[in-house]
C-alpha cells in the first residue's frame, strides 16, 4: 500500500474540546513540535472566524518549519455570493498558507435545512470555491462534511458533491464522519463507492462519538484513503477526534504503512505529553501506546510470563513509540512481579530464595490494611530495602505529638477565630535523639515542619525536597469518622519526582507514614550521609 499523508487538526478541531483554550503562543509551539514529529500538514485554524487565528497565521509566516506545510481552514462561498466577494475565501487567501482546506455540505438534509439553499446551488458553491482557490495557486483539500450520513441518506447526491470538487481541480477529497456515529463497515462501503467514481486522492476525517474514530480511520485507509486527519491525544469537540497517537503506530507497526520515520515514531509519547501540558490537561495514563499505563503489568500471571518473554503480554515493544514497560506491585501480584521489580531496582539479593515469598506476603498484608503500591513506587522500594537484615534507616521515629487549637485573635488583630497546629517530634539519627517543635497551617504541615527541623541538622541538602501533592482517600466510606484512610504524597527536589503512601484509621499517622517514606527515599537516592 502507498504511503499515507498525515494531516493534523489539533490547532483547530483539538482546540474545540471543552476546557481547552490555546493562546497564539501555544499554537506556534505546538506547530513547531508537530513539524519535528514529521507531520506533513498542520491545520492552523480558521482565519476568518476570530482575531486569534488571524494573528496566528500572521506570526506563523516567520515559523522556521523544516518540512510541514500549514493549512488554513474555511468554508465554501456563501449561497448566492460571488467568490471574489466572499469574506471567508478572501481570509483564506490572505492567510498566505500554501494549503487551504474548505468544508462543504455533502448531506442533502444540511443543504436544504441548515444552509437553506438548493442542492444545485450547493454543488456550484463547492465547485466555484475550489476553482477560485486553485486559481490563486493553492493546494486545495475539500472536507466533505457529514459525508457518511449523507451517503446513507442519499448516496447519489453525496457522490455528486465529491464530483463537483474533483472537476474543479481539488487536490484531495476528505470524507468526514462529522457526527462520529458511523460503523467501520459503513465507512468501508462509502469509501469504496467514492473511490470507484473519483480519480482524486481520498482522505478521512472522523469523530469519536461512537468510540470508533480510530477504527473508522483505519478502515478507510484499508479501503483506499491516502490522507488521514486527526488530532494529538484525540482532542476535539464532544467526544473528540480521531487520535493520531493511536493511528500513527497502528498504520506503521500493524499495517506496515509508512507515514513517519522510525526515529520520529519514537518521539510519539513525548509529543503526546507535550501537547497535553500546553493544553493544561493531565495526560491520560490509560491512553493506548503513549499512556503511562499502556505497558504496565499488574497481575502476577502477566508479570511471570513477561520475565520469560516480553511479547507474551505486550502487542508492541513500548520503546517503538517512546514509552516504557512497567511492572506494578499489589495484592494481585505473584512472585514474578517481586522478582521483576527487585531486578529493576538492583535489589535481587533481598528477594533471593524464599525471601520473595515473605516479601509478597508482607505486601498483601499491607495492602489489606489500605496501602497501595502501584501508585507509590518509592514506598515499595523502601519496603524491599527494609526486608534486608542489614538495612539501617537514615532516621527513626521515637514519638510525636500533634496539637490543634482554635482561639480568638487579640483585639488589635481583629475578632476572627484562627486555627493553630503544633507538632512535637522525637527522631533518632544514629545514636542521637532530636526533639523539635514546629507550627503549621494544619497538623500535617506542622508535622512536616518539625521533622524537617530535626533532620536538616544532619542532612542540610534535604531542604531541596518539596511536597508537590497531597491526596487523602477514604477507603471504607461506611466507617464514618473511624474509616481507614490512605494518604498519597508526591514529592520533588526539582529533578526527581516520587510517590509514597501511608494508611491508617488515623489520618495523622497515615500522613506521617507517607511523609517519612518520602524523605527517607530521597536520602537513599542521594546517598546522604549525616553531618555529625
- Res 185 pLDDT > 90: yes
Locate 421 and state its grid cell. 497546629
Could you tell me if 119 and 233 lie in one domain?
yes
Neighbours of 341 (CB within 10 A): 23
Answer yes or no: is 285 within a domain.
no
Helix (H) or strand (E) holding 37: helix 24-37
pLDDT for the residue numbered 477: 58
DSSP SS3 for 428: strand
The full 3-state SS of 321-356, as one line of letters, equals HCCCCEECCCCCCCHHHHHHHHHHHCCHHHHCCCHH
* 419 occurs within a structural domain: yes
Q: Could you tell me if 65 and 35 are in contact, meaning their C-beta atoms sit under 8 angstroms apart?
A: yes
**Structural domain contains residue 13:** yes
Segments forming the whole domain that contains residue 111: 5-260
Query: Residue 316: how many CA atoms within 13 Å on its side-chain side?
Result: 20
For the chain, what percent of residues have pLDDT higher than 70?
Answer: 86
The CA distances from residue 100 to 23, 33, 46, 96, 370, in Å, are 22, 21, 10, 9, 57
Is there a single domain that holds both residue 358 and residue 505? Answer: no
Mean pLDDT of 212-235: 98
Q: Are residues 194 and 317 in the same domain?
A: no
**Is 462 found in the same domain as 406?**
yes
The x, y and z cell numbers of residue 82, run together, are 460571488
Q: Read out DSSP for 73-93?
A: EEEPPPTT--GGG-HHHHHHH
Grid cell 506503521 in the structure block, residue:
252
CA distance 135 to 122: 20
Domain membership of residue 282 (yes or no) is: no
Q: Are 35 and 70 in contact (CB under 8 A)?
A: no
DSSP classification of residue 4: P
Cα atoms in the 13 Å half-sphere on the side-chain side of 284: 13
Residue 101 half-sphere exposure toward CB, CA atoms < 13 A: 28
d(CA 27, CA 42): 11
Q: CB atoms < 10 A from the CB of 186, how many?
A: 17
Are 249 and 328 members of one domain?
A: no
Number of domains the chain is built from: 3
Q: How confident is the model at residue 392 (pLDDT cuts 50, 70, 90)?
A: confident
373, part of any domain:
no
Q: Is the pLDDT of residue 384 over 60?
A: yes
Looking at the structure, tell me whether residues 84 and 187 fall in a common domain: yes
Residue 361: band (very low, low, confident or very high) from pLDDT cuts 50, 70, 90: confident
Residues 324, 446: one domain?
A: no
Task: Tell whether 170 is covered by a domain.
Answer: yes
Question: Is residue 335 pLDDT above 60, yes or no?
Answer: no
234-249 tens-digit pLDDT: 999 999 999 999 999 9
Q: Does residue 45 sit within a domain?
A: yes
Residue 278 lies in a domain: no
Report yes or no: 72 and 38 within 8 Å, Cβ to Cβ: no
Burial (CB < 10 A; 0-12, 13-18, 19+), residue 65, is middle
Closest by Cα among 52, 72, 84, 63 to 9: 72
Window from 96-110, 277-291, 354-368, 495-509 with minimum mean pLDDT:
354-368
Q: Considering only residues 319 and 385, tell me which one the structure prediction assigns the higher pLDDT.
A: 319
Q: What is the pLDDT of residues 133-161, one digit of tens each?
A: 999 999 999 999 999 999 999 999 999 99
Question: What letters, b where the CB count within 10 A reaches 16 and e where it falls short, cover 367-387?
Answer: beebbbbbbbbbbbbbbbbeb
What's the pLDDT score for residue 453? 93
Query: Of all helices (H) and strands (E), which one includes residue 197?
Result: helix 184-197
**pLDDT of 292-310, one tens digit each?**
888 776 655 555 565 665 6
User: Cell 494549503 sits at which residue?
Assistant: 99
Indicate whether 245 and 108 sit together in one domain: yes
51-94 pLDDT per residue, tens = 899 999 999 999 989 999 999 999 999 998 999 999 999 999 99
Whether residue 347 sits in one domain with residue 412:
no
Claim to verify: residue 402 and residue 363 sit in the same structural domain: no
The answer, yes or no, to whether residue 313 has pLDDT greater than 80, is: no
CATH of the domain at 442: 3.30.160.270
**Is 493 found in the same domain as 402?**
yes
Contact 229, 247 (CB under 8 A): no
Which of these, 503, 502, 501, 469, lies nearest to 483 by C-alpha position? 503
Residues 224 and 88 grouped into a single domain = yes
Whether pLDDT at 217 is above 60: yes
Count Cα neighbours of 133 within 13 Å in the Cβ-side half-sphere. Answer: 38
Amino acid at each position: 500500500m502507498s504511503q499515507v499523508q498525515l494531516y493534523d487538526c489539533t490547532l483547530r478541531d483539538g482546540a474545540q474540546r471543552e476546557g481547552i483554550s490555546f493562546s497564539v503562543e501555544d499554537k506556534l509551539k505546538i506547530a513547531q513540535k508537530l513539524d519535528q514529529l514529521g507531520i506533513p500538514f498542520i491545520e492552523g485554524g480558521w482565519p476568518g472566524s476570530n482575531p486569534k487565528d488571524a494573528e496566528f497565521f500572521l506570526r506563523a509566516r516567520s515559523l522556521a518549519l523544516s518540512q510541514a506545510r500549514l493549512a488554513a481552514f474555511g468554508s465554501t462561498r456563501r449561497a448566492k455570493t460571488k467568490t471574489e466577494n466572499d469574506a471567508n475565501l478572501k481570509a483564506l487567501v490572505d492567510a498566505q498558507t500554501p494549503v487551504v482546506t474548505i468544508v462543504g455540505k455533502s448531506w442533502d438534509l444540511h443543504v436544504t435545512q441548515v444552509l437553506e439553499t438548493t442542492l444545485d446551488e450547493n454543488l456550484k458553491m463547492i465547485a466555484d470555491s475550489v476553482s477560485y482557490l486553485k486559481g490563486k495557486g493553492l493546494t486545495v483539500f475539500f472536507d466533505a462534511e457529514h459525508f457518511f450520513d449523507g451517503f446513507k441518506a442519499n448516496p447519489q447526491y453525496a457522490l455528486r458533491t465529491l464530483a463537483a470538487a474533483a472537476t474543479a481541480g481539488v487536490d484531495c477529497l476528505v470524507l468526514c464522519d462529522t457526527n462520529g456515529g458511523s460503523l467501520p463497515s459503513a465507512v468501508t462501503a462509502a469509501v469504496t463507492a467514492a473511490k470507484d467514481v473519483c480519480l482524486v486522492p481520498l482522505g478521512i476525517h472522523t469523530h469519536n462519538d461512537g468510540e470508533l474514530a480510530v477504527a473508522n480511520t483505519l478502515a478507510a485507509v484499508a479501503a483506499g484513503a491516502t490522507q488521514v486527519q486527526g488530532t494529538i491525544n484525540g482532542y476535539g469537540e464532544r467526544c473528540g477526534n480521531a487520535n493520531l497517537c493511536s493511528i500513527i503506530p497502528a498504520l506503521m507497526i500493524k499495517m506496515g504503512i509508512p507515514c513517519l520515520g522510525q526515529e520520529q515514531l519514537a518521539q510519539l509519547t513525548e509529543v503526546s505529553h507535550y501537547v497535553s501540558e500546553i493544553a493544561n490537561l493531565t495526560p491520560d495514563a490509560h491512553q493506548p501506546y503513549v499512556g503511562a499505563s499502556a505497558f504496565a503489568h499488574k497481575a502476577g500471571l502477566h508479570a511471570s510470563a513477561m520475565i520469560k518473554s516480553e511479547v507474551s503480554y505486550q502487542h508492541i515493544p513500548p520503546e517503538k513509540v517512546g514509552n516504557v514497560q512497567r511492572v506494578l506491585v499489589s495484592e494481585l501480584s505473584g512472585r514474578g512481579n517481586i522478582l521483576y521489580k527487585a531486578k529493576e531496582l538492583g535489589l535481587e539479593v533481598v528477594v533471593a530464595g524464599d525471601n520473595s515469598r515473605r516479601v509478597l506476603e508482607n505486601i498483601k498484608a499491607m495492602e489489606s490494611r489500605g496501602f497501595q503500591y502501584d501508585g507509590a513506587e518509592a514506598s515499595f522500594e523502601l519496603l524491599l530495602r527494609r526486608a534486608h537484615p542489614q538495612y539501617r534507616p537514615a532516621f527513626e521515629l521515637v514519638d510525636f505529638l500533634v496539637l490543634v487549637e482554635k482561639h480568638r485573635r487579640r483585639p488589635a488583630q481583629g475578632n476572627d477565630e484562627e486555627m493553630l497546629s503544633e507538632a512535637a517530634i522525637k527522631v533518632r539519627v544514629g545514636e542521637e535523639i532530636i526533639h523539635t517543635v514546629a507550627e503549621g497551617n494544619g497538623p500535617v504541615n506542622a508535622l512536616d515542619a518539625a521533622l524537617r527541623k530535626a533532620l536538616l541538622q544532619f542532612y542540610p541538602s534535604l531542604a531541596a525536597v518539596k511536597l508537590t501533592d497531597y491526596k487523602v482517600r477514604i477507603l471504607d466510606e461506611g466507617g464514618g469518622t473511624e474509616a481507614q484512610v490512605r494518604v498519597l504524597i508526591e514529592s520533588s527536589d526539582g529533578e526527581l519526582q516520587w510517590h509514597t503512601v501511608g494508611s491508617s484509621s488515623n489520618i495523622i499517622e497515615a500522613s506521617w507514614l507517607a511523609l517519612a517514606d518520602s524523605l527517607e527515599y530521597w536520602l537513599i537516592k542521594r546517598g546522604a550521609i549525616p553531618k555529625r
